[in-house]
Chain A
């Protein structure tokens, strides 16, 4: 499936360009047991992983699409027309010089090597199905921190990998976690030894380059007792005419007293179905924090979760969703309290522009036998146009006494008067909109690491510029 064009396609979307494909390994179109065996052979999987994949396929085929509660738009995905594995067939490189030119140019245009030099402790770059680059700063590696692709994790650290893989999110959690379990490839494997605090973030960048393709990375992060780590992921893809599928599974394990912060800026092209399962397990006194920003994609369904398994564990989800014309951001959070004195916090802000639609689904669960658990949920929606839409589906089950829950929700609109006021000070309509939206998310963005808040504000400005006038 090579395209003849050598010219690069570009428009205002930074990620909307692609180079001709040069894949050596290709599982072909469609999904069957043969596909699974192809992937398992190419990746040289141990038998238990091959078995795991086959169970994943079986479960995927058995489970119906969840359209009884989710968007019917899911029916637009033709699973028989997708390619499930594409790779250059080489190992990930440790230096950018060794990365093939086209791929290197892609990441350079996205600014990844530059960011690595500036403020990152390590970078992994995935191109279609496999990591093409993976590097950790020497000083961080010497502390015993492992940061590799999932395949390398499985090969070189089987005892840690197998112990936790699939334990936070079982195959049958949902149809798409089952699909990922069947065809997963790429993603990060991170292990932080006890007491090690990784100062700078580790970053992964996921890039889809090929058409009719599905990316199914699998990320597993284990923070051992008392350790701390921040992981950031970014993603882009060119906009193709046919739907692209991205269905990841991310499992986090924070052992006693550990802290994991996981940051996502999702900027997929508007033809991408982004169906992701993310869950963290927080042991005693541990903290799992998801910062989740969804700007791109056609349909995103993602509800980062924390299971607070140990006493005094903490879970947090801070999320921002921006839904423009033709987009549906169906996002939210799940907080499962499973021990005494656990606390969780959810702050969700969504912005709907034009005919865009934002949905918030929240689940907070505190069973009867627990004491002194707390949850705070705030969800605010901003509607830009009369045609914009927002829906909120909170599900809060709190039983027993001595547990406290607080829930606040608001819907607001940018008014004509407000825009006129700002225009009277000299701002164009688009600038006024953009500033209003930035104001709406500001208190939340302030809690993000600096590099990300700057990037996020820039992305919001780009979206607003394109949506007015």
Chain B
């Protein structure tokens, strides 16, 4: 099965259990929104999927196309097709976007094979156009001195160039004004397709007006308390997270 499969996952930071028995499946070709209040464990889940060294999986499994992700280093996961759009992307002083993405693509090639420079730049410029980014952007250092909107757009540009099989978008809408939000949403929508599964993590319903999800899951206190179609997001917007928590039974998954 071509899917990202999270099964009964428990995550701890120190003594504190943040994620408590979370189960979620994101098949390729679908967009799943994961909503929840602050502190519900959404971002922790995102980091663990990518393999952040500060978090410990105490129980459960994560499989990507059947392969055990937890056995792999962060860079191995990335090269096998997992992408995380960071909520707070790091700055890399002195390293241009062009050089960074080139190194990232080069790392996916077998040893001894060199990335073809002309093809690379053609692809890079095409994706930038898609995101309404000026070409001069490529010679700026990654995230250095970027506005919030520029950082988020750069994340989506990287996703577009690296062409992952699964993308986790962590609060990609936070800190964006409505114009920037629309641009980013347009970028993500243009990447949707049968080969890409997306897990869209967000606090607000707003983003889901622009990126229409196939499914919506509500996460509270480290677990998924409700799952449903896109209408669930609207209902949640109306009734609030307390409603989601109170009425929770075992999550109805499809």
Query: Is the CB–CB distance between A425 and B94 below 8 Å?
Result: no
Query: Is the CB–CB distance between A428 and B92 below 8 Å?
Result: no
Task: For the complex, give the distance between the alpha carbons of A443 and B53 in Å.
Answer: 31
Q: Would you list which residues of chain A between 381 and 440 have a CB under 8 Å from chain B?
A: 412, 415-418, 420-429, 431-432, 435-436, 438-440
Indicate if A442 sits at the interface (CB-CB under 8 A): yes
A426: contacting residue among B51, B52, B94, B104, CB under 8 A: B104
Q: Would you list which residues of chain B between 83 and 100 have a CB under 8 Å from chain A?
A: 83-84, 86, 89-95, 99-100
User: What residue of chain A has the Cβ atom nearest to residue B108's Cβ?
Assistant: A426
- Distance of B165 from chain A, by nearest CB (Å): 13
Task: For the complex, give the distance between the alpha carbons of A43 and B229 in Å.
Answer: 91
Stretch from B15-23, B73-81, B194-202, B241-249 contacting the other chain: B73-81
Task: For the complex, give the distance between the alpha carbons of A443 and B144 in Å.
Answer: 14
- Specify which chain A residues have a CB less than 8 angstroms from the CB of B51 in the assembled complex: 423-424
Determine which residue in A417, A421, A425 has the highest number of CB atoms from chain B within 10 A of its CB, and name it: A425
Indicate if A441 sits at the interface (CB-CB under 8 A): yes
- Distance of B71 from chain A, by nearest CB (Å): 16
Task: For the complex, give the distance between the alpha carbons of A436 and B93 in Å.
Answer: 7
User: What residue of chain A has the Cβ atom nearest to residue B83's Cβ?
Assistant: A424
A418: contacting residue among B78, B92, B105, B107, CB under 8 A: B92
User: What residue of chain B has the Cβ atom nearest to residue A442's Cβ?
Assistant: B94
**Interface size on A (CB < 8 Å)?**
25
Given A426-B104, A428-B107: A421 in contact with B162 (beta carbons within 8 A): no
A266-302 contact mask (Cβ, 8 Å, vs B): 1 or 0: 0000000000000000000000000000000000000
Indicate if B5 sits at the interface (CB-CB under 8 A): no
Task: For the complex, give the distance between the alpha carbons of A424 and B169 in Å.
Answer: 13
- Distance of A10 from chain B, by nearest CB (Å): 21
- Distance of B97 from chain A, by nearest CB (Å): 11
Query: Is the CB–CB distance between B90 and A443 below 8 Å?
Result: no
Indicate if B103 sits at the interface (CB-CB under 8 A): yes
User: What residue of chain A has the Cβ atom nearest to residue B77's Cβ?
Assistant: A424
**Interface size on B (CB < 8 Å)?**
32
Query: Is the CB–CB distance between A435 and B92 below 8 Å?
Result: yes
- Specify which chain B residues have a CB less than 8 angstroms from the CB of A429 in the assembled complex: 73, 75
B150-179 contact mask (Cβ, 8 Å, vs A): 1 or 0: 000000001000100000000000000000
User: What residue of chain A has the Cβ atom nearest to residue B75's Cβ?
Assistant: A423
- Specify which chain B residues have a CB less than 8 angstroms from the CB of A432 in the assembled complex: 75
Task: For the complex, give the distance between the alpha carbons of A436 and B141 in Å.
Answer: 11
- Specify which chain A residues have a CB less than 8 angstroms from the CB of B93 in the assembled complex: 412, 439-440
Task: For the complex, give the distance between the alpha carbons of A441 and B94 in Å.
Answer: 8
Indicate if B50 sits at the interface (CB-CB under 8 A): yes
- Distance of A446 from chain B, by nearest CB (Å): 10
B52: contacting residue among A420, A422, A431, CB under 8 A: A420
- Distance of B114 from chain A, by nearest CB (Å): 15
Given A427-B107, A428-B75, A435-B103: A421 in contact with B86 (beta carbons within 8 A): yes
- Specify which chain A residues have a CB less than 8 angstroms from the CB of B162 in the assembled complex: 425-426
- Specify which chain A residues have a CB less than 8 angstroms from the CB of B91 in the assembled complex: 418
Query: Is the CB–CB distance between B94 and A417 below 8 Å?
Result: no
Query: Is the CB–CB distance between A421 and B90 below 8 Å?
Result: yes
User: What residue of chain A has the Cβ atom nearest to residue B104's Cβ?
Assistant: A425
Query: Is the CB–CB distance between B78 and A439 below 8 Å?
Result: no
Task: For the complex, give the distance between the alpha carbons of A104 and B100 in Å.
Answer: 40
- Specify which chain B residues have a CB less than 8 angstroms from the CB of A441 in the assembled complex: 94
- Specify which chain A residues have a CB less than 8 angstroms from the CB of B90 in the assembled complex: 415, 417-418, 420-422
Given A426-B75, A427-B103: A435 in contact with B53 (beta carbons within 8 A): no
Task: For the complex, give the distance between the alpha carbons of A426 and B159 in Å.
Answer: 12
Query: Is the CB–CB distance between B92 and A422 below 8 Å?
Result: yes
Query: Is the CB–CB distance between B50 and A440 below 8 Å?
Result: no
- Specify which chain A residues have a CB less than 8 angstroms from the CB of B103 in the assembled complex: 427, 431, 435
- Distance of A348 from chain B, by nearest CB (Å): 16
Determine which residue in B54, B86, B107, B162 has the highest number of CB atoms from chain A within 10 A of its CB, and name it: B107
Determine which residue in B54, B79, B89, B103 has the highest number of CB atoms from chain A within 10 A of its CB, and name it: B103
- Specify which chain A residues have a CB less than 8 angstroms from the CB of B107 in the assembled complex: 425-428, 431
Query: Is the CB–CB distance between A421 and B79 below 8 Å?
Result: no
- Distance of A170 from chain B, by nearest CB (Å): 40
- Distance of B160 from chain A, by nearest CB (Å): 13
Task: For the complex, give the distance between the alpha carbons of A420 and B54 in Å.
Answer: 10
Given A420-B74, A441-B94: A427 in contact with B89 (beta carbons within 8 A): no
A136-157 contact mask (Cβ, 8 Å, vs B): 1 or 0: 0000000000000000000000
- Distance of B216 from chain A, by nearest CB (Å): 25
B99-116 contact mask (Cβ, 8 Å, vs A): 1 or 0: 111011101100000000
User: What residue of chain A has the Cβ atom nearest to residue B88's Cβ?
Assistant: A417
Query: Is the CB–CB distance between B52 and A435 below 8 Å?
Result: no
- Distance of B239 from chain A, by nearest CB (Å): 35
Query: Is the CB–CB distance between B95 and A420 below 8 Å?
Result: no
- Distance of A448 from chain B, by nearest CB (Å): 15
- Specify which chain A residues have a CB less than 8 angstroms from the CB of B86 in the assembled complex: 421, 424
Query: Is the CB–CB distance between A425 and B158 below 8 Å?
Result: yes
B95: contacting residue among A415, A423, A439, CB under 8 A: A439
- Specify which chain A residues have a CB less than 8 angstroms from the CB of B77 in the assembled complex: 424
- Specify which chain B residues have a CB less than 8 angstroms from the CB of A421 in the assembled complex: 86, 89-90, 92
Query: Is the CB–CB distance between A436 and B95 below 8 Å?
Result: yes
Query: Is the CB–CB distance between B92 and A436 below 8 Å?
Result: yes
Task: For the complex, give the distance between the alpha carbons of A431 and B78 in Å.
Answer: 14
Query: Is the CB–CB distance between B141 and A439 below 8 Å?
Result: yes
Task: For the complex, give the distance between the alpha carbons of A421 and B89 in Å.
Answer: 7
- Specify which chain B residues have a CB less than 8 angstroms from the CB of A443 in the assembled complex: 94
- Specify which chain B residues have a CB less than 8 angstroms from the CB of A438 in the assembled complex: 94-95
User: What residue of chain A has the Cβ atom nearest to residue B84's Cβ?
Assistant: A424
Given A420-B52, A424-B78, A428-B75: A439 in contact with B94 (beta carbons within 8 A): yes
A-B interface, 7 closest residue pairs, ranked by CB to CB distance from nearest: A439-B94, A439-B95, A421-B90, A442-B94, A425-B104, A423-B74, A426-B107
Interface positions of A (Cβ within 8 A of B):
412, 415-418, 420-429, 431-432, 435-436, 438-443
Given contacts A421-B92, A439-B94, 20 further A-B contacts (CB under 8 A): A420-B50, A420-B74, A421-B89, A422-B100, A424-B74, A424-B84, A424-B86, A425-B107, A426-B75, A426-B79, A426-B104, A427-B75, A427-B103, A427-B107, A428-B73, A429-B73, A431-B107, A435-B95, A435-B100, A440-B93
Interface positions of B (Cβ within 8 A of A):
50-54, 73-75, 77-79, 83-84, 86, 89-95, 99-101, 103-105, 107-108, 141, 158, 162
List 12 A–B pairs whose Cβ atoms lie within 8 Å, in order of A's numbering.
A416-B53, A418-B90, A420-B53, A421-B90, A421-B92, A426-B79, A426-B107, A427-B104, A431-B103, A432-B75, A436-B95, A440-B94
